Structure 1
Amino acid sequence: MTDIEARIAKLEAIEAIRSLKARYAEFADAKYTSEHRKKTGSELERIVNAQTACFTEDVEWDAGKFGIIKGRKALAESFAGKPFWFTLHAYTNPIIEVEGDTATGRWLHWLLLSKEGTAEPVHLMGYTHDRYRRVDGQWLISHMRLEVKFEVPFGQPWTK
């Protein structure tokens, strides 16, 4: 592979990882209706399956104080059972490093949500630290760690 081919391959990998993260966020938010209610039944199951397909079978999702989830099946159960009526995930400022068939990424993460039952609006901000692996030519998330900087109801300061 020439230098230019290697550089193009690395840029293509970075773009595929950006697209992967965007798809993950889209599926995370697609589980809720425009009326801010969680979808149910086969529609919810279809979306959760698409969301978990963004991950390797042996994924580890470390959500800090919210717990650690290992494996795609456990991740699907977690995604289906989130106690929210609405979410909107935004991932920005990516720093992506590719080395062959593995990569790392750090993303600034802003999550808007309303809690199930109370509809309390909350915003969370922090970072996700990701590891990726190319499996059968497709980039997947193999590890995600959430580093929360603040999580507060709207209208409250995020600094004590």
Structure 2
Amino acid sequence: MDDLESVKQLKYRYLRALDTKDWDVFAETLTVDVTGEYGSSLRFGNRAELVEYMRSSVGPAVITEHRVTHPEIDIEGDSATGRWYLQDRVIVPDFQFMLIGAAFYRDRYRRTDQGWRICATGYDRTYEAKMSLADVPSFALDVGPAIRV
């Protein structure tokens, strides 16, 4: 697999692991010294902080869907940068809440002995829409077996 395809597969694995709550695989997509900046208020300085935040904040009671498209990836030796268009949805049934939004991810990647890993990630929102599911009387949710509890 060439470097470009490897970086794409890495990002897809990061998102799959996030949405299925597979925190071991999620952690494996990141370098130990990864930095994260999600919007203006969420910042992380290493893998342990980032993974623990996701594990505790986006646990089994929170359903997420992250889709990225339109990758713009530049590879220079053992480093790469990437920009992705993100569309996401967050559903919190216990609070009858749903968020849909879009953003542009900006990532940096580093080639390691284990392959490409994300060494910096974050996004800038283009919009975020929030709604109460109580306003949607027909809303029903069935969660499939892919999500780890």
TM-score by length of 2: 0.81
> Aligned-residue CA RMSD in angstroms?
1.7
What is the CA distance between 1:134 and its match in structure 2?
0.2
Q: Which runs of 4+ in 1 moved over 3 A?
A: none
1:75 and 2:50 equivalent?
Answer: yes
Task: Tell me the residue number matched to 1:66.
Answer: 41
Q: Any idea what the Cα deviations from partners look like across 1:21-57, whole Å, max 9, x if unmatched?
A: 11011111102xxxxxxxxxxxxxxx11210110110
> Is residue 105 from structure 1 mapped to residue 112 from structure 2 by the alignment?
no
Distance 2:96 2:116 in 1: 35
Is 1:94 matched with 2:71?
Answer: yes
* TM-score where L is the length of structure 1: 0.76
Structure 1: 5+ residue stretches without partners: 1-10, 32-46, 156-160
Looking at secondary structure, tell me which structure has more helix per residue. Answer: 1
CA distance in 2, matches of 1:128, 1:115: 23
**Alpha-carbon distance between aligned partners in 2 of 1:154 and 1:97, rounded to the nearest angstrom:** 37
Cα deviation per residue 1:102-141 (whole Å; 9 max; x = unaligned)?
Answer: 0000000011111363131210101100000001150000
Q: CA deviation at 1:66?
A: 3.5
Q: Aligned to 1:89, what secondary structure does the other structure show?
A: strand
Match of 2:31 in 1: 56
Counterpart CA distance in 2 for 1:93 and 1:72 is 26
Partners in 2 of 1:115 and 1:66 — Cα distance? 20
1:18 aligns with 2:18: no
For residues 54-82 of structure 1, the C-alpha deviation after alignment (integer angstroms, 9 at most, x for no partner) is: 01100000112331011111111111012
Aligned residue pairs: how many? 130
Matched, 1:129 2:106: yes
Identity %, equivalent residues = 28
Equivalent residue letter for 1:12: D
Q: Are 1:142 and 2:130 an aligned pair?
A: no
3-state SS of paired residue (1:78) = helix
**In 1, Cα distance between equivalents of 2:114 and 2:2:** 12
